[in-house]
Amino acid sequence: MIGRDGTGRRWSIGEVARASGVTVRALHHYDEIGLLSASERTMSGHRRYTEADLRRLYRVRALRTLGLSLEEIADALAGPADDLPTLRELLARQLRALEQQATRIHRLQLRLDGLLRQLDDASMPDPDQFMTTLEMLSVFETSFTPEQRDQLAHRRDQLGPESVEEARTRWAGLVEKLLGHVQDDTPVTDPRVQDLVRRWDELGAAFHAEGAAGEQTKAAARKMWRDNSAEFSRGLPWTAEQMTALVAYLERVRQVR
């Protein structure tokens, strides 16, 4: 045990490094830039960290996990060291970040489970399937922010697998009917077409949150389909030309509503 005195326990830099996972070199760097300094020194000049120092180190570590730079962390910690509301908000932010990370891990588990099921059925996914999946994941991740992806995943979880599967079936039926109108060049003002597109949009809206956040993900989803309809068609029973024409037709219908 490193020194006790009338004011409580003191920790050496080695103890702090081992307990926190922060290297001694990093702790020296934190000291050099004024981010975290040991409050006390021994007669021989060795650093001794107090309980308040450890609480500050926790804040530094927590903010780093949230993606803040050391400069941003210094600004965030400029307030009182024992500001309970600030500490509570920090802990809440860290918890939300962990929950979002857990959601992303859960989605990855589902994707891997799908591949494993196919392997269990003695059916090796071919390279094109892997490439298409990678391309769609890339498009999805660049079309939505991490927060929006988490919102969409949360909404899918709320709906449940049965509702999602039902929606997929209904969507396929709408695609078939609308492609017929695309082929026939039905005027976009036709009440039948207007009704189909209304049902299309209502079906899609079920996968988005309510309010401004939902409107943002809807707009991002429409842009994603408009810009990548040909790529998405690879995993669908319709050609790239059909899906590209359908997306353009939908936009025309919405413009005259």
Q: Which pLDDT value is given to residue 159?
A: 79
- Residues 184/202, Cβ–Cβ less than 8 Å: no
Residue 63 has a CB neighbour count (10 Å cut-off) of 20
Domain spans of the chain, in order of start: 4-79, 83-125, 126-255
This prediction has a pTM of 0.46
Q: Could you read off the pLDDT of 6-21 as tens digits, one per residue?
A: 457 899 999 999 888 8
Among 3.40.50.720, 1.20.120.80, 1.10.1660.10, 1.10.10.10, name the CATH number for the domain at 4-79.
Answer: 1.10.1660.10
Handedness of CA 171, 173, 175, 177 (dihedral sign): negative
Most confident of 94-103, 139-148, 150-159: 150-159
d(CA 92, CA 80): 18
What percentage of the chain carries pLDDT values higher than 70? 72
Q: Which pLDDT value is given to residue 243?
A: 82
Average of pLDDT values for 26-55?
A: 92
134: confidence class by pLDDT, cuts 50, 70, 90? very low
- Residues 233/132, Cβ–Cβ less than 8 Å: no
d(CA 2, CA 24): 17
